[in-house]
Chain A
Amino acid sequence: MIIETENLTKYYGKIRGIENLSFSIEKGEIFGFLGPNGAGKTTTIRTLLGFLKPTRGKAFIFGKDVEKEIVKIKEKTGYIPGELALYGDLTAKDLLKYFGTLRRNFDEKKREKLLEIFELPLNRKIKGYSRGMKQKLSIVQAFMHNPELIVMDEPTAGLDPLLQGKFYDFLREEKKEGKTMFISSHILTEVEKVSDRVGIIKEGNLVALENVDSLKSKKGKVVKVKTVEKIKIKGIKTKMENGWTSFVFTKDVDDVIKELARYTIKDIEIGELSLEEIFMHYYR
């Protein structure tokens, strides 16, 4: 096991952060940690990485207690914080150099490779960076010492779709090398592209822990249909918007078509249920 938590709980005074989180992540796994804003994703990450002391429970990374051996753990861990606070007065080059000297396994070749994928104006001061550039820089620093585990808090925020694609391709490559990754996101469709397994956190509690494949196999289609008459199907909740009726259908497709055949159809769209919709449908 790379990460293991036992009833990990964090309260900020009386305010709930996370409650009784128990999960484990295996070597080589990409784990998507999902939940709406304020659900406790960042609290979980910051407790795992020793920034916050657990109120109750335990967390282990590489089998080591995060409260006791966090420095050892960090030698083999990379971290992309959710808050992109980098030293504004430094240039990216200086920052990478500075952090390089603090990391035991800093790998110059790896850094060069990363900078080829995530191009950056290295000689510019970081305070002049756009959000996307800062995000790229934080990706480079998190991977440049070849860590075995990379913990990422909303890593694609600020990246344009093209870069997001590049980033996911890069993660798949890293996975091939046996790296373990923990990615938090509030956008389910994002992590479903790379994750093997997802945990869903809601109000500080883990409400689901599933393989992405089995989650996707939870049968379902999204049907959007434009009809002359008003649609009413027994046992299914429909939503009306701009003349379109939409609903989630979890039974056989054949049944949907036969059901809809009773109406005069002007237009129809049938699509796969995204992870987001699965979440809304199953875990609400």
Chain B
Amino acid sequence: MKIAIHSVRNSWKGTVILLLAFAGLVAMIISIYPDMKGSIDMWMDNLPDSALSAFGRSGLELSMVEGYLNMEFYQWGWVLILGVYFAFISSSVISKEIENKTIDMLLSNPVSRARVVLEKFLGLVPGVILMNVAMPIVILGCLKYANETINVTYLFYTHFASVFYLCAVCALGLLFSVIFDETRRANVVAIGVISGMYIMEILSLISEKYSAIGKITIIHYYDPGEILVHHHIEASDVVILFFITAVLLVAAAIYFEKRDIAIS
């Protein structure tokens, strides 16, 4: 666990900063909700369904505070921005050690490369959990202040499923992080893939023609709107996310074990 702990020390600052930024954003979004409540509904009603999809997948009922939060925050802030953030840090963890050449020192210790991959992943999990524990607390606090209520159980489920989603994102980033020697390249590819998946998923909702392509994205298996607004959590989605994480980690470990670590 020592490599994991060392890894946490390296990334906790960024995660805390992002958490504070998100808390501020959520506080702002909720604070304007009472004034927006009536007017947005009318505006939304006039939009065609396909245009509505562009704002998110489901649970866009703005008359409910859940729907409002889902559309204004979860669908893009959580799924996309936080997904991109974790893709960014996870794709850096090993590529950075290769780029900075510290990997020589690290692997001079009696640790296998597979263990390095696994521990680097475990080092990312506390950040994921911190986000998913702190955010519901912030939201509940803000809602109380705004005199709105929300179903706490499904808020919890939303973040429970989110842990699996973000873990899958981290595993994907980690795979790119063992493939590329340059951190920047690993970052660009990981962020590109996550953003691309987001676009594919939205596209698959807008047009029937593309409905199948959404299924190959990680994002397809985590829809906060379904859980938070419609109170429906699909157990198979969580299982699939868990499975994706495991497969990506095994792939990363095998690739890392096999590759040359050249330093010139």
Interface residues of A (CB under 8 A from B): 12, 42, 46, 49-53, 70-72, 74-75, 77-79, 81, 83, 85-87, 89, 98-99, 101-104, 138, 141-142
Contacts and interface: CB of A to CB of B under 8 A. Distances in A.
B31 interface: no
Nearest to A89: B10
B151 interface: no
Nearest to A83: B101
Nearest to A42: B263
Kindly list the 5 A-B residue pairs having the minimum CB-CB distance in the complex, ordered from nearest.
Answer: A85-B101, A102-B109, A79-B108, A74-B110, A81-B104
A74 B109 contact: yes
16 contacts: A12-B262, A42-B263, A46-B263, A49-B107, A50-B107, A51-B262, A52-B262, A71-B112, A74-B109, A74-B110, A81-B108, A85-B100, A85-B104, A98-B6, A103-B109, A141-B105
A79 B100 CA distance: 17
Contacts of B104: 51, 79, 81, 83, 85
A52 B262 CA distance: 7
Interface in B89-103: 100-102
B260 A51 contact: yes
A174 to B, nearest CB: 17
A49 B110 CA distance: 11
Interface in B9-59: 10
A85 B102 contact: yes
A81 B105 contact: yes
Given A51-B261, A85-B101, A101 B2 contact: yes
Interface centre among A71, A77, A138 (most CB of B within 10 A): A71
Could you tell me the dominant secondary structure of chain B's interface residues? loop
Contact of B110 (A46, A81, A103, A138): A103
Interface residues of B, number: 20
A56 B93 CA distance: 31
B261 A52 contact: yes
Given A74-B108, A81-B104, A85-B100, 7 more contacts: A52-B260, A75-B110, A77-B108, A79-B104, A85-B101, A98-B2, A102-B2
A102 B101 contact: no
Contacts of B110: 71-72, 74-75, 102-104
B52 to A, nearest CB: 47
B209 interface: no
A46 B111 CA distance: 16
Nearest to B102: A85
A92 to B, nearest CB: 13
A49 B263 CA distance: 13
A79 B108 CA distance: 6
B170 to A, nearest CB: 21
B194 to A, nearest CB: 27
A168 to B, nearest CB: 22
B179 interface: no
Interface centre among A49, A70, A85, A104 (most CB of B within 10 A): A85
Contacts of B262: 12, 46, 51-52
Interface string B143-166: 000000000000000000000000
Contacts of A71: 110-112
B10 A99 contact: no
B53 to A, nearest CB: 44
Contacts of B111: 71, 74, 102
Given A53-B258, A101-B2, A102-B3, A83 B263 contact: yes
A12 B261 CA distance: 11
A89 B102 CA distance: 12
A53 to B, nearest CB: 6
Interface string B175-194: 00000000000000000000
A87 B10 CA distance: 11
A75 B260 CA distance: 21
A56 to B, nearest CB: 14
A217 B3 CA distance: 50
Contacts of B109: 74, 99, 102-103
Contacts of A70: 112
A101 B111 CA distance: 11
Contacts of B108: 49, 74, 77-79, 81, 141-142
